[in-house]
Amino acid sequence: MIYEKLCNISSRIIPVSRKTSETENRELARAVRFLSPIMILTLKGVVAAAYFSATLILLLSLILLTFFGVNLFITIPLSIMASLVTFYIVISYPVSMMNSYKLGLSEEADLVFEQFILVFQTGGTIFDAIEMVAQSDHHYLSNAFRLILGRIAEGIPPETCLMDFAKDQPSDDIRRYFTAIVSSLEKKTDLLDVLSGESFEADLALRQKNLELESRLLVVAALVTYVP
C-alpha cells in the first residue's frame, strides 16, 4: 500500500525520524495498533511521513508557483496552506481509517460473540473460539485473531490477548463483549446469561437505533466536509 511505503521511507530519513522519535499522540498510537492486522505501521513512521509529505508539498508549491510567475505574497501563503493540509491528511489517516471500521465492527460484534457462545456450548475452550474467529471470513477480525493466535503461541495467555485487543477497539460493543467473555471466564460464570432476558433484547434494539443514527451523522459530516 502506498501509505505504508510512504511511512516506511519517511522513517528512514534521519532528520525527520529524530524529530518525531519522541512524539506522543495517544489516539494516533491507538489507531496504529488497531490497524496492525491489516497494515504495517509505526507511530514514528506515520509522524515522519506527515512531516516529510508536508515539507515536500511546501517546496513543490513554492517552486511551481514561482515558476508560473505568481506573486510572492500569494505564493508563500498558498504553499504554507497546502503544506498544512497535507500534514493533517497524512497524520490523521490512521485515525480516520480506524473510525471507518467502527460501524462495521459494531455490526459484526453480535456474530463474533455468538461464535464464542457456540464454542463454549460445545465444550470448547477460549483458544478454540479464537481459532474459530480466525478461520472465519471477517475482513478485519479474522486477521486480528490470527495475530492473537501468534501471540498465544509465544506463551501469552488468551485472556490477556483478548483484553489487549479490546482496549484498542473503536467499537464499544467489541470492547464490552470481550470484556464480558474474559470476566465470565475469570469468575467462572455462564456467558449465556449475557444473551438472555428482555434486557438484552432492549439493549440490542437500542444499539441498532444508535448505529442507524451514527450512520446518518457520518453521512452528514462527510457532506459538510467535502461539499462546498
> Are 44 and 11 a contacting pair, CB within 8 Å?
yes
- Residue 201 pLDDT level (bands cut at 50, 70, 90): very low
What per-residue confidence (pLDDT) applies to 181? 85
Q: For residue 195, what pLDDT is reported?
A: 46
- Predicted model pTM: 0.74
Greater confidence, 106 or 190?
106
CA gap 82, 95 in Å, rounded = 21
| Contact assessment for residue 78 and residue 58, using Cβ atoms and an 8 Å cutoff | no
The residue among 217 and 161 whose pLDDT is bigger is 161
pLDDT value for 146? 93
Q: H helices then E strands: how many in the chain?
A: 11, 0
Per-residue pLDDT, averaged over 62-75, amounts to: 90
pLDDT band at 16 (very low <50, low <70, confident <90, very high): low
DSSP class of 157 = -
Tell me if 173 sits within 8 A of 106, measured CB to CB.
yes
Confidence of residue 65 (pLDDT cuts 50, 70, 90): very high
CB 94 within 8 A of CB 38: no
| pLDDT band at residue 54 under the 50/70/90 scheme | very high
Instruction: Name the nearest CA neighbour of 176 among 135, 197, 204.
Output: 204
Query: Contact, 46 vs 91, CB < 8 A?
Result: yes
Contact in structure between 143 and 37 (CB atoms under 8 Å): yes
Taking each helix axis as running N to C, give the angle between helix 43-67 and helix 72-100, from 0 to 180 degrees, rounded to the nearest 10: 150
The per-residue pLDDT for 106 is: 78
- Residue 227 C-alpha cell reads as 461539499
d(CA 95, CA 221): 16
Quickly list DSSP for 101-155: THHHHHHHHHHHHHHHHHHHHTT--HHHHHHHHHTS--TTHHHHHHHHHHHHHTT
Q: What percent of the chain has pLDDT over 90?
A: 36
112-162 residue pLDDT tens: 888 888 888 888 888 999 999 999 888 889 999 999 999 999 999 998 999
Is the per-residue pLDDT at 202 higher than 50? no
| Per-residue confidence (pLDDT) for residue 194, from 0 to 100 | 52
| Predicted pLDDT of residue 199 | 41
Give the lowest-confidence range in 106-110, 189-193, 203-207: 203-207
Burial class of residue 72 (count of CB atoms within 10 Å of its CB; 0-12, 13-18, 19+): exposed
